[in-house]
Structure 1
């Protein structure tokens, strides 16, 4: 494979931003996808360029099929044919028990966190050749179920795990690898989205390593799975959860 071209969805902050920055240092040309925060996405691009890398930003709601098509066409034109995809987009809504959730909330979570991964994977594998790779960002919540807080989010990440396994088997013979990472309690803004900015501090004592993780630590796992160093790894999901 010649040029390494990576699309990272939801890359204006947190794990996505850390991943984009890391991949750029490893020779990838990076498309930083974002939905709302253009300023933050542009800052990621400028950081990459300041360190000698190649990056572009593109606004798209990746749960919307037409916008995904436009996003991938943009990457085709500006960078070339995609070789690596990181599905990282994910949302939380305020903490709630299932009994208080309505269908509108549940469908928003599933469309954003699951449908986006399916249609981005589809667009990617239409373009990818042997040696390409996809990493889907799941969550430790897929195993815990996140009772009393985010059972809808947890279920969406369980679907991501199943997508990762099934798609890996569909495209293995084409030389395309599909893997996942399950971050645990990571220091990102997503907890504020759920209504508890200090959630990591509250939950860190439950983690065997007694601390929350950093976005950069998750990015390292993603980068390894994308790399040729993981050339015989597909259909696997790595827990980056501090032992929890």
Structure 2
């Protein structure tokens, strides 16, 4: 196995399935050592890691719920110990709920939505900046403080609003858009780029978890390209934003939504 110090280290939260798994797989093919974070589905994450390793890549599966600060700290410490200095973060972990109007949402739903979809990415971005930024060498040692890239996975819902279904989810992703723009300006001088992708209707199982397994098929006619997208199509945008080809891109919100 290639030594961790020879590869740029990437953490993908919610990396065991969907867009996260496609991103981890593609990033490994492009030469990253990948930490695949998962909250509950260890089997999916371990299977992905085994697949990456079988193809000659380097990957580890690490459990943590990003909504819990103590678990986030444990997650980043594990990345430090098992792979080395972090150079990339993909804030992908997220949840949806069953379709509902705002006037039927309770506080428990809202707290879960914002804890995972907003607080979690903030905590992960904080820990990434601490390692990538100018104080990284002093705080963590050689190899740290060399800059890096953060890509937040937002959603086209942040500009569409998702009325009658997921206004809370859309609002959480709107917060991610704003965080992306502000953080990008805050850390640019330290060599850290921060961007977001905003997927549209993508064929993943997140729709089933929200009670709408046929959502992409049902809404595909509303997409100018007349189809749903794939997780790989989103992953390709994410990996581009992580890499040197996007070296002059920061604070960008990149729509991967088929024109919707």
TM over 0.5: yes
Please state if 1:95 is matched with 2:99: yes
Measure how far apart 1:10 and its partner are. Answer: 0.1
Please state if 1:236 is matched with 2:252: yes
Specify the SS of the correspondent of 2:86: coil
Could you give the per-residue CA deviations for residues 10-45 of structure 1, whole angstroms, max 9, x where no partner exists?
A: 001000000000000011000000001000000110
In the other structure, the counterpart of 1:55 is 59
2:20 to 1, 10, 16: 16
> Which aligned pairs between 1:122-141 and structure 2 lie closer than 5 A?
122-128=126-132, 129-141=145-157
- Supply the distance in 2 between the matched residues of 1:3 and 1:42 (Cα, whole angstroms): 20
- Supply the distance in 1 between the matched residues of 2:232 and 2:9 (Cα, whole angstroms): 20
- Supply the distance in 1 between the matched residues of 2:6 and 2:131 (Cα, whole angstroms): 15
- Supply the distance in 2 between the matched residues of 1:10 and 1:100 (Cα, whole angstroms): 28
> Which aligned pairs between 1:17-36 and structure 2 lie closer than 5 A?
17-36=21-40
In the other structure, the counterpart of 1:45 is 49
Measure how far apart 1:3 and its partner are. Answer: 3.0
- Supply the distance in 2 between the matched residues of 1:121 and 1:96 (Cα, whole angstroms): 30
Measure how far apart 1:81 and its partner are. Answer: 1.1
In the other structure, the counterpart of 1:227 is 243
In the other structure, the counterpart of 2:225 is 209
Please state if 1:155 is matched with 2:171: yes
Could you give the per-residue CA deviations for residues 70-116 of structure 1, whole angstroms, max 9, x where no partner exists?
A: 00000000000111000001100000000100111011100010000
TM-score by length of 1: 0.99
Higher mean C-alpha deviation, range 123-132 or range 46-55 = 123-132
Measure how far apart 1:225 and its partner are. Answer: 0.2
Higher mean C-alpha deviation, range 6-15 or range 123-132 = 123-132
Give ranges in structure 1 of 5+ residues lacking alignment: none
- Supply the distance in 1 between the matched residues of 2:70 and 2:215 (Cα, whole angstroms): 36
Please state if 1:75 is matched with 2:79: yes
Specify the SS of the correspondent of 1:58: strand
In the other structure, the counterpart of 1:7 is 11
- Supply the distance in 2 between the matched residues of 1:44 and 1:160 (Cα, whole angstroms): 27
Specify the SS of the correspondent of 1:70: helix
- Supply the distance in 2 between the matched residues of 1:241 and 1:130 (Cα, whole angstroms): 33
In the other structure, the counterpart of 1:121 is 125
1:191 to 207, 232, 236: 207
- Supply the distance in 2 between the matched residues of 1:36 and 1:54 (Cα, whole angstroms): 22
- Supply the distance in 1 between the matched residues of 2:67 and 2:181 (Cα, whole angstroms): 21
RMSD: 1.0
How many pairs align?
244
- Supply the distance in 1 between the matched residues of 2:243 and 2:29 (Cα, whole angstroms): 13
Could you give the per-residue CA deviations for residues 105-132 of structure 1, whole angstroms, max 9, x where no partner exists?
A: 0111000100000000000010013441
Please state if 1:218 is matched with 2:225: no
